[in-house]
Structure 1
Amino acid sequence: MGKNINIPDYIFESSWEVCNKVGGIYTVLSTRAKTLQDEFMDHVIFIGPDCWSEDNVCPYFTEDITLFSDWRIKACKSGMKVRVGRWNVPGNPIVLLVDFSPYYKIKDDIYSNLWNYYHVDSLHAYGDYDEASMFSYAAGKVVESFYNDNIEKSSKVIFHGNEWMTGLGLLYINHVLPQIATIFTTHATSIGRSIAGNNKPLYEYLWAYNGDQMAEELNMQSKHSIEKQTALYVDCFTTVSDITAVESKELLDKAVDVVLPNGFDDDFVPTGAEYIRKRKNARKRLLSIANALTGSEYKDDTIIVSTSGRYEFRNKGIDVFIDAINRLGKIENLKKKIVAFVEVPGWVSGPREDLYERLNSGNTFCTPLDNPNLTHWLHNVDNDNVLSMMQYLDMKNSIHDNVQLIFIPCYLTGDDGIVNMNYYDLVLGNDLCVYPSYYEPWGYTPLEAIAFKVPCITTDLAGFGLWANTVKGSDSKLEDGVEVVHRTDYNYDQVVNDITETIHRFVLLTPDEIKKIRNNAQKLSKKALWSKFIKYYHDAYDFALQKASNRV
């Protein structure tokens, strides 16, 4: 794109994950906030769902009744329920949390208008569709109210929505305030994720899939419809990587206008003595958990490997990771012991009391607990995919096994009852992280890993993996800080073997070689800072404002 001529005066950005830590979009928005705040101080306003009660206070939000108090009182009198405050992340941007529950009573009218104006099919709605749509509509009403009450009509205003859950609000603003420029970012198409999650080959047949037809086959009509129509009608349609841009064009019948790669803010990554201390503490905690579960002895040179993310067994490559760790255990004469962790949130019923007691004793152990592969009890222990695959592969974590695999099935927020450390304090304890994704529009977990100087393995079906290859100018290798494994619809076995061999190769490296790889990993992460990637957002703002100006 050329030089931007349109700079917004106000930016509203909406997401279900504003002040609501659910997945990767929370990281996208919360780490980008400071970069935007530095440029548009307090003219960047995030809008999220007020899904918190008095008994369950939002830990990410600090209310400030002095902010826009006159407007807030007026909005509340008109029937809106909105709280104003700041997001407790670097930059402390202004946040409007909206209670969307009042709109359920007019849901049918909202959906009827949506059909009449934009032909969005809400007839097949189920699950979280209604909840997301009512939030989205509430967010649109808040933007409308704030704009009419607080903003000069000559101002250049952006309303940016993330994922299909914000589509209804974007279309509402597009209809009632066409002078506001709208941007829609799909971080993963709902139908693409569904095709992949239903074990259908996505990539080789992408050109032959009809998005509307697949939505009907997979019972995704309403989510697909709001996503597709939003992409078609907003001023600027965006996604987070080139691989998802191709997917969007095929499945949503709309080419993206701008690709917005996900950056990172590393202000909170520890350095120097603090990094050394935190890494030592993380390793000590992980090895203590492994010892208390298995009764095995772990020396200081034990290699710690992990995978993490959402519990999408195939899409995130959790199956590949387990298989690779199993094959690693069959290699004779491994030079070092390896303990691997699967850190994805399952259906936890509670922390294991027997494990808690062992950890709390401060002792080391030479006998295993029953079920030495699990840190928390699960409601669905007999039907859990991770445990079922470990059982199928006969992975028992026997005391003398050189390679062991442990499932930590909880959110690592620091209060799970066993690990009791948050994810960012734990990830730097790893020697190597593995993210062998089949479906991954971007991939924050590998970017986070290398920011903490932990080299990783990912695939070229992840947006991040493709970006790493682009930076290298060829296939990125472990020596560069990121090993990007080639993955297709059909080469599962080869991917498992490649990952097994890469981990084994890492085990054989000297301390100096590992130190160089760790430094290269961190250097690569510096190229993905928001200060480098924010320019793409300026392109999107310029594109959307120009389109809105022409329309009005």
Structure 2
Amino acid sequence: MKAVLKNLKSEKRDVENKTKLFEVAWEVCNQVGGIYTVIRSKVPSVIEKWGVDNYFLVGPYFEDQAAAHFDPATDYSTPIGKAVLEMQARGFDVHYGQWIVSGRPNVVLFNPYSVYDKLSEIKHYLYQDYNISIPDGDDLLDKVAAFGFQVKEFFHYLCANDFCDNNTIAHFHEWMAGIPIPGIRKSNLKIKTVFTTHATLLGRYLAMNDTGFYQNLPFYNWEEEANKFNVRPIAEIERASAHGAHVFTTVSDVTAQECTYLLGRTPDMLLPNGLNIERFEALHQIQNQHVQVKDKIHEFVMGHFFQSYPFDLDKTLYFFTSGRYEYQNKGYDLTLEALARLNWKMQQAGSDMTVVSFFITKRPFYSFNPEVLQSKAQIEDVRGVVDEITEQVGKRLYTEITSKEGAYEFPNLREMVDDYLRLKLRRNVQSWKTKNLPKVVTHTLVDDAKDEILNFLRSSNMVNNRHDRVKIVYHPDFISTTNPLFKMDYTQFVRGCHLGIFPSMYEPWGYTPLECLASGLPSVTSNLAGFGDYVVKNIPDHEDRGMYIIDRTDGNFHRAAEELANILFNFVQKTRRDRISLRYKCEESSLHFDWSNLGKYYDKAYETALER
């Protein structure tokens, strides 16, 4: 039996050694959204399995992005290098080298602008051959069409030079990369194609505008809806890619439903998204890292809230939600309603805990709120004076104690501080303190009066009153080390929090709760998110492991809000020991989502493509 298994493994390695795998994505060396994380985090495990000489990534070339992500090749003697040189000789602006990420994979990048003189011809044949109608004047669609044409020509060249005589697989991610698929099939190239849709664009628009999206899925007319939302060309590309691929895949069961009804083909299999967990691992340091970053968040909270009123930081929990600003799709509406109910529950229970809940998203703004920045600067001035006093008292106390004769008596510390410093501290504190309520938003928004988050907070009177047990900080920009309020990156910020809240109504996968898990942070999501649906079906004891999933399948908003509020209230009541224990369980559970485990789904897709 062992000999048989050994032979099977050997045969699989032989197939992989002979088979060439290309992954084509708009986000190769081009950081735009979540697919960038999928591709980049998967690279080390793919190279370990396939080898660096059998695996290639294909993406667009944009000079500003390439400067940070791309390292040009010096050796063009490989078949791919020769193909690139040949295409360059034919006038294509194509680049060959390595992506500067873990694993250093080989990449081929095409500059869409280099074939803009052929755009009219490219669009003509897309319509004539595949019924894909791309209008003039759409910058993204023009770049996608130009990129797809070049990728198809690249594969034509490879197959014309016998490269495709061995098994060749091309895996295309999302509609931006899918245009070459029908051309490959029409030309009967010896390439097996896999297409993965991570979310249909039409589905996203429908979900944003129809609270009964999933119930109404079977009844939509895709052409009418695509015309209504002005996304007809993209829907046509998605459908052509899905129907043309040898193997059609998506990331979750919830997305598979919309593919069936909106794209007209049920996915052959699911490819769940994973992470390179090793990048997040902190092991026994996880609690220490949490405490260190939490202290930095404490500094922001003290500057933001304590000028109006103080509360006990040892009895304060930090919740957060983040992501694209889609008020209903991302569940911001449900999160706010649940936080309002949590606020009431905590007040009724006489809780002495405080919850500070952060909303981290991207909205148009003019600048930081001047009062928020001023408060931050003023508390730093207070800290500066305190440090001066500490240094002065420390030196004088040491001298006083060591130089005094006779019986030891503790000195009067007040006498060791100069009047100047006492006055300076008093003035700084008085100028910092205010009777105004702490701001709920850190920036001056462009559409303040129409912002849905702010309007909910105003109508529910959740405006950081002293008696509120739940405080709100709405930060309409992503967190980075250059941010003057937090001075840390997003990953650090996550580690310093206690709970992530992501109860999405529409979420094909959802990386945020998975990133929380990998950082040792419990989180709440919904079973309408691909990640939440996967957890419910594959991890029976998920709540004990810090993965809370609320049910949103019945469309009952108020029931879901109460369920979420109860989860949050129960979490607030946990002891510090319980929360620490949960952190370690979270990080341990994240190993399930490492690409070394979830990569098996991709292996199955490639095996199926070769069989077909």
Q: TM-score, normalised by structure 2?
A: 0.82
Counterpart position of 1:516: 581
CA distance in 1, matches of 2:237, 2:554: 28
Which of the pair has more CA radius of gyration? 2
CA distance in 1, matches of 2:521, 2:513: 9
Aligned residue runs from structure 1 range 297-376, under 5 A: 297=310, 298-331=312-345, 332=347, 333-352=350-369, 354-356=371-373, 358-359=375-376, 362=380, 363=382, 366-367=433-434, 372-376=439-443
Counterpart pick for 2:462 among 392, 395, 415: 395
CA distance in 2, matches of 1:243, 1:176: 34
Counterpart pick for 2:197 among 186, 192, 197: 186
Counterpart pick for 1:27 among 5, 20, 37: 37
Q: Where does structure 1 differ by over 6 angstroms across 4 or more consecutive aligned residues?
A: 2-5, 368-371
Any unmatched runs of 5+ in structure 2?
1-7, 384-431
| 2:149 counterpart SS class | helix
CA distance in 1, matches of 2:263, 2:439: 46
Counterpart position of 2:293: 282
After superposing the two structures, state which structure 1 stretch, 72-81 or 358-367, moved more. Answer: 358-367
Counterpart position of 1:166: 177
| 2:473 counterpart SS class | strand
| 1:484 counterpart SS class | strand
After superposing the two structures, state which structure 1 stretch, 73-82 or 30-39, moved more. Answer: 73-82
Amino acid at match of 1:94: N
Amino acid at match of 1:101: Y
After superposing the two structures, state which structure 1 stretch, 308-317 or 123-132, moved more. Answer: 123-132
Query: Is the 1:292–1:369 contact (alpha carbons within 8 Å) kept by the matching residues of 2?
Result: no
Query: Is the 1:290–1:406 contact (alpha carbons within 8 Å) kept by the matching residues of 2?
Result: no
Counterpart pick for 1:96 among 103, 108, 120: 108
CA distance in 2, matches of 1:285, 1:63: 40
Cα gap change, 1:378 to 1:153, in 2 (>3 Å): same
Query: Is the 1:441–1:462 contact (alpha carbons within 8 Å) kept by the matching residues of 2?
Result: yes
CA distance in 2, matches of 1:526, 1:493: 34
Alignment partner of 1:492 is 2:504 = no
Alignment partner of 1:459 is 2:459 = no
CA distance in 1, matches of 2:45, 2:569: 40
Counterpart position of 2:262: 251
Counterpart position of 1:122: 134
Aligned length: 541
- Any idea what the Cα deviations from partners look like across 1:20-62, whole Å, max 9, x if unmatched? 2222111111111111011222222112222233xx7643333
| 2:607 counterpart SS class | helix
Aligned residue runs from structure 1 range 407-446, under 5 A: 407-446=474-513
Offset of 1:437 from its aligned partner? 0.4
Percentage of pairs with the same residue: 28
Query: Is the 2:281–2:587 contact (alpha carbons within 8 Å) kept by the matching residues of 1?
Result: no
Query: Is the 1:144–1:177 contact (alpha carbons within 8 Å) kept by the matching residues of 2?
Result: no
Query: Is the 1:351–1:417 contact (alpha carbons within 8 Å) kept by the matching residues of 2?
Result: no
RMSD: 2.7
After superposing the two structures, state which structure 1 stretch, 27-36 or 327-336, moved more. Answer: 327-336
Query: Is the 2:83–2:154 contact (alpha carbons within 8 Å) kept by the matching residues of 1?
Result: no
After superposing the two structures, state which structure 1 stretch, 410-419 or 140-149, moved more. Answer: 140-149
Query: Is the 2:437–2:465 contact (alpha carbons within 8 Å) kept by the matching residues of 1?
Result: no
| 1:342 counterpart SS class | strand
Cα gap change, 1:512 to 1:281, in 2 (>3 Å): closer
| 2:580 counterpart SS class | helix
Alignment partner of 1:84 is 2:113 = no
Counterpart pick for 2:50 among 15, 29, 40: 40
After superposing the two structures, state which structure 1 stretch, 328-337 or 415-424, moved more. Answer: 415-424
Q: TM-score, normalised by structure 1?
A: 0.90
- Any idea what the Cα deviations from partners look like across 1:282-324, whole Å, max 9, x if unmatched? 2123232233223343513311101112222211111111222
Q: Higher helix fraction: Structure 1 or Structure 2?
A: 2
Amino acid at match of 1:218: F
Query: Is the 1:351–1:416 contact (alpha carbons within 8 Å) kept by the matching residues of 2?
Result: no
| 2:504 counterpart SS class | coil
CA distance in 1, matches of 2:595, 2:471: 37
| 1:115 counterpart SS class | helix
Cα gap change, 1:350 to 1:77, in 2 (>3 Å): farther
Aligned residue runs from structure 1 range 126-205, under 5 A: 126=138, 128-145=140-157, 148=160, 152-176=163-187, 178-205=189-216
